[in-house]
Amino acid sequence: MKVQQLATLSGVKADTIRHYVRIGLLVPQKGSNGYHQFSDTDARRLSFIMQARQLGFTLHDIGQIMALAEHGESPCPTVRQLIEPRLSEARSRLAAMQQLVERMEAAVEQWQHQPDCHPCGYHICHLIEGPHEELHTDAANASQEIGS
Domain count, the chain: 2
Q: pLDDT-derived band of residue 145, with 50, 70 and 90 as boundaries?
A: very low
Q: How far apart are CA 46 and CA 125, in angstroms?
A: 48
Radius of gyration of the chain (CA): 27
Same domain? For 133 and 74 the reply is no
Q: pLDDT-derived band of residue 13, with 50, 70 and 90 as boundaries?
A: very high
Please determine, for residue 131, whether its predicted confidence score (pLDDT) is greater than 80.
no
Phi/psi region, residue 102 (left: phi>0; alpha: psi -120 to 50; beta: rest), is alpha
pLDDT at 132: 42
Please name which of 46, 45, 37 lies closest in space to residue 11, comparing C-alpha atoms.
46
Neighbour-count burial for 59-79, b at 16+ CB within 10 Å, e otherwise: eebbbbbbebeeeeeebeebb
pLDDT at 124: 84
Average pLDDT of the chain is 88
Same domain? For 14 and 75 the reply is yes
Please determine, for residue 11, whether its predicted confidence score (pLDDT) is greater than 90.
yes
As a whole-number percent, the residues of the chain with pLDDT over 90 amount to 68
Lowest model confidence (mean pLDDT) among 3-7, 45-49, 109-113: 109-113
Same domain? For 79 and 16 the reply is yes
Would the CA dihedral through 134, 136, 138, 141 be positive or negative? negative
Q: pLDDT-derived band of residue 12, with 50, 70 and 90 as boundaries?
A: very high
Q: Which domain holds residue 81?
A: 3-88
Q: How far is CA 66 from CA 77, 109, 124, in A?
A: 13, 50, 52
| Residue 19, domain member (yes or no) | yes
Q: pTM for the full model?
A: 0.71
Query: What does the pLDDT look like over 23-43, one tens digit per residue?
Result: 999 999 998 888 999 999 999
